Amino acid sequence: MTDRYHHGDLRRALIEAAVEALGETGPSALSLRAVAKRAGVSHAAPAHHFGDKAGLLTAVATEGFERLADALDRAWRTTGDFYAVGAAYVRFAIDNRPYFETMFRPELLHPDDPDLQRAEARSRAGLYRGAGDPPADGGYNPTALAAWSLVHGFAELLLAGNFPQAVADDPDAAFRAVATVTRFEVE
């Protein structure tokens, strides 16, 4: 199974190898050849399945958005609480750092990929739920924007190491404190 010429599910294996490598090097330093070596295939094998380096990262990002959407749905379903969804967003960023770090870097992706956009839409829908009325045609819901900005900014600044040590030591508590002092007036 492992040393066949036809791998079986090399696409899957490459994505997993990429996530591993991303955890060690970060998305901008990812090496396609290193991913291929990790999966035990030749250096040009990834290109066959993903076309591009950006194609591989797009596949990773797509899977990331799917997982994020799942996590947000689960949080909403089990608690019905708007803030719990936000906490789940932050948790996801911490637990799935390799995914999260590639999901919001359009310059490394194929941003127009249909699968990616579908997964993005699923995540957005899961996040917006509970933020009042959905936006009118072409418009936006300020409350939804505000909530997304808050949780996303918290996650980014946390991962980038811009917060004090105490935040990194107990991010959940820190986010709870942040959520406690923040009120969104649903209009």
- Residues in the site for a copy of itself, rule: CB under 8 A? 26-29, 104-108, 111, 120, 135, 138-140, 142-143, 145-146, 148-157, 160-167, 174, 177-178, 180-187
Q: Are 131 and 82 a contacting pair, CB within 8 Å?
A: yes
Closest CA to 18 of 69, 55, 48: 55
Looking at 18, 19, 32, 59, which residue binds DNA (CB under 7 A)? 32
Which of a copy of itself, DNA, none has residue 57 at its interface (CB below 5 to 8 Å by kind)?
Answer: none
Q: Is 110 in the site for DNA (CB under 7 A)?
A: no
Rounded to the nearest 10 degrees, what angle do helices 53-79 and 32-39 cross at?
A: 70
- Write down the least CB distance from residue 39 to DNA, Å: 9
Show the tokens assigned to 173: 């508590």
Which of a copy of itself, DNA, none has residue 183 at its interface (CB below 5 to 8 Å by kind)?
Answer: a copy of itself
Q: Is 26 in the site for DNA (CB under 7 A)?
A: no
Q: Is 44 in the site for DNA (CB under 7 A)?
A: yes
Choices 39-47, 67-75, 95-103, 114-122; region in contact with DNA by CB under 7 A = 39-47
Closest CA to 141 of 89, 82, 100: 82
Q: Are 92 and 67 a contacting pair, CB within 8 Å?
A: yes
Q: How far is CA 54 from CA 9, 175, 187, in A?
A: 20, 33, 40
- Rounded to a whole number of angstroms, the distance between the first and last alpha carbons of the chain is 58
> Which residues form the interface with DNA (CB under 7 A)?
4-8, 10-11, 30-34, 36, 41-45, 47-49, 51-54
